Structure 1
Amino acid sequence: MASTFSFDIVSDFDQQELVNAVDQVVREIKSRYDLKDTQTTVELADQSINVNTDSEFTLDSVHNILREKAAKRNLSQKIFDFGKIESASGNRVRQEIKLKKGISQEIAKQISKLIRDEFKKVQASIQGEAVRVSAKSKDDLQVVIQRLKQEDYPVALQFTNYR
Structure 2
Amino acid sequence: MPSESVQRFSSHILLQLPFQCIYGTIPVVCNYNSKSNSSSSSSSSSSSSSSSSSNSSSSSSSNSSNSSSIVLVVAVVAVVVVVVVVVVVVVVVVRVRVKVVVVVVVAVAAVFVVVVVVVEEIVVVEVATAVVVVILVVVVVVVSVVTVIATTVFVVLVVVVVVVVVVVVVVVVVVVVK
Identify, as 1 or 2, the structure richer in strand.
1
Q: Which TM-score band (shorter chain)?
A: under 0.3
**Using CA pairs below 8 Å that are at least 6 residues apart, which structure has the higher relative contact order?**
1
User: Which has more radius of gyration?
Assistant: 2
- TM-score scaled to structure 1, two decimals? 0.26
